[in-house]
């Protein structure tokens, strides 16, 4: 009898603890936030936050889910988030948020650390959200959908950014937690996608526009979409991209090589107080366009194309690194981090004056290009 009573009590206790969800909320009780735009009103001294919310109630069942913007303001980010409830029937839910768009003036003057830290602290937000920098007057404008368009703009931008390294190599993508780690690492810098809007017919649509460079957590400048390709190459993150060449007498580029594999190795030597960084790239490409009508079966002509591509990569990487050293003085390539990992004692010596030494670091670039497929048409 005692065993049966104990068993019954155990079953009742388990039923109370394990059955159901203690804080269950259905979809019709939540506003699903997909994207967040962060601006700051200097005159009012208030954060102005725009939330793109999935409109689950609008349209017919055959229509795509659309986004709508909810705007709020507050003295802090969290204050602005909670103030949104004043105008919304349902509380904002951030578990599905994909994108954070930051105003460039906010990034330049206030920095990113506080913003990233709030999202990392919040229990609902994903650590894998994508953070982009708006080159428009406001971060909100990036999330504004063109007229008569369907879908959710934040989701569209997230997909464009995340998949770019497999297509054009026009920007770089790090998850939110990776950006925070980079800022707080010996690198003390961050790279994030830059986005602006372009006119297409009578509408404005968002477009990737290179890389935003942060010194510490504050915006220092930009790399163009073309320069971004070679920054990705240095970081060994480039998966796809196009190398346009001009080898003939045509007024335009006449050769297109498609990158489908790239490997980059970085090393350094330090002798007599002189730092030299060696960057070696090996790139496999296909001959995707041949307006110059060069013979892909002729080894000499193939070598001519490979040599031209090697010079292009070497010169482009060299020019891009010199620009970063002279204009921004930000070690975005992790040279200091590389030294720290391989020789912590040497880094302890260099770290106090690394900001003065970085612009003087000599960088040697060696590139090898192999055409492995000519897509030759018989």
Tell me which DSSP letter residue 84 carries: G
Q: Is residue 19 in some structural domain? A: no
Same domain for 245 and 272, yes or no, is yes
Give the separation between CA 206 and CA 141, rounded to whole angstroms: 9
pTM of the model: 0.85
Name the domain boundary from 186, 203, 223. 223
Same domain for 324 and 353, yes or no, is yes
Q: Is residue 266 in some structural domain? A: yes
Name the domain boundary from 223, 251, 281. 223
| Per-position DSSP letters for 118-172, written without gaps between them | HHHHSSSS-TT-EEEEE-SS-SHHHHPPPTT--S-HHHHHHHHHHHGGGTT--S-
Q: Is residue 21 in some structural domain? A: no
Q: Is residue 16 in some structural domain? A: no
Domain count, the chain: 2
Same domain for 347 and 202, yes or no, is no
Same domain for 216 and 264, yes or no, is no
pLDDT digit of tens for each residue in the chain (378 aa)? 667 767 777 776 666 666 555 555 555 566 889 999 999 999 999 999 999 998 776 655 556 677 889 999 999 999 999 999 888 877 888 998 999 999 999 999 999 999 999 999 988 899 999 999 999 999 999 999 877 676 799 999 999 999 998 889 889 989 999 999 999 988 889 999 999 999 888 888 899 999 999 999 999 999 999 999 999 999 999 989 999 998 877 678 889 999 999 999 999 999 989 999 999 999 999 999 888 888 888 889 999 999 999 999 999 999 999 999 999 999 999 999 999 999 999 999 999 999 999 999 999 999 999 999 876 655
Q: Which two tokens stand for residue 362?
A: 């000599």
Same domain for 291 and 272, yes or no, is yes
Same domain for 209 and 248, yes or no, is no
Same domain for 215 and 309, yes or no, is no
Same domain for 188 and 330, yes or no, is no
Q: Is residue 11 in some structural domain? A: no
Quick one: pLDDT at residue 146?
Answer: 79
Same domain for 117 and 34, yes or no, is yes
Which CATH number goes with the domain that contains 248? 3.30.300.210
Quick one: pLDDT at residue 376?
Answer: 63
Q: Is residue 92 in some structural domain? A: yes
Buried b (16+ CB within 10 A) or exposed e, 46-81: bbbbbbbbbeeeeeeeeeebbbeeeebbbeebeebb
Same domain for 110 and 192, yes or no, is yes
Quick one: pLDDT at residue 19?
Answer: 59
What is the number of H-type helices and E-type strands within the chain?
12, 13
Give the separation between CA 328 and CA 323, rounded to whole angstroms: 7
Which range of residues forms the domain containing residue 216? 26-223
Same domain for 73 and 218, yes or no, is yes
Residue in this structure with the two tokens 């030494």, named with its chain if needed = 357
């Amino acid at each position: 009898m005692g065993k049966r009573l104990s068993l019954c009590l155990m079953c009742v206790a388990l039923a109370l603890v394990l059955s159901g969800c203690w804080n269950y909320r259905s979809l019709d009780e939540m506003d699903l936030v997909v994207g967040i735009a962060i601006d700051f009103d200097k005159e009012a001294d208030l954060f102005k936050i725009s939330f793109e919310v999935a409109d689950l109630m609008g349209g017919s069942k055959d229509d795509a889910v659309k986004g709508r913007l909810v705007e709020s303001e507050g003295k802090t980010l969290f204050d602005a988030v909670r103030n949104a409830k004043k105008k919304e029937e349902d509380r904002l839910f951030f578990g599905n948020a994909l994108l954070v768009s930051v105003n460039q003036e906010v990034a330049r003057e206030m920095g990113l650390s506080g913003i990233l830290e709030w999202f990392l602290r919040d229990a609902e937000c994903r650590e894998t959200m994508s953070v982009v920098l708006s080159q428009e007057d406001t971060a909100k404008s990036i999330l504004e959908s063109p007229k008569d368009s369907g879908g959710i703009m934040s989701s569209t931008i997230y997909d464009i950014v995340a998949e770019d390294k497999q297509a054009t190599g026009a920007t770089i993508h790090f998850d939110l937690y990776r950006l925070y780690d980079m800022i707080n690492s010996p690198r003390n810098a961050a790279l994030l996608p830059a986005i602006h809007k372009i006119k297409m017919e009578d509408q404005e649509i968002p477009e990737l526009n290179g890389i935003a460079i942060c010194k510490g957590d504050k915006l220092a400048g930009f790399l163009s979409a073309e320069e971004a390709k070679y920054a990705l190459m240095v970081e060994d993150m480039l998966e796809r991209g196009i190398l346009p060449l001009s080898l003939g007498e045509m007024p335009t580029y006449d050769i297109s090589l498609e990158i489908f594999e790239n490997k980059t190795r970085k090393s350094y030597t330090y002798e007599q107080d002189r730092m030299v960084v060696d960057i070696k790239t090996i790139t496999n490409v296909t001959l995707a366009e041949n307006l110059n009508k060069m013979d892909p079966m002729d080894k000499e002509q193939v070598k001519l194309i490979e040599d031209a591509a090697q010079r292009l990569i070497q010169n482009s990487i060299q020019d891009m690194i010199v620009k970063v050293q002279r204009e921004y003085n930000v070690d975005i390539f992790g040279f200091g981090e590389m030294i720290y990992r391989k020789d912590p004692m040497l880094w302890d010596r260099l770290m106090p004056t690394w900001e003065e030494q970085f612009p003087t670091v000599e960088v040697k670039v060696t590139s090898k290009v192999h055409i492995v497929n000519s897509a030759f048409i018989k």
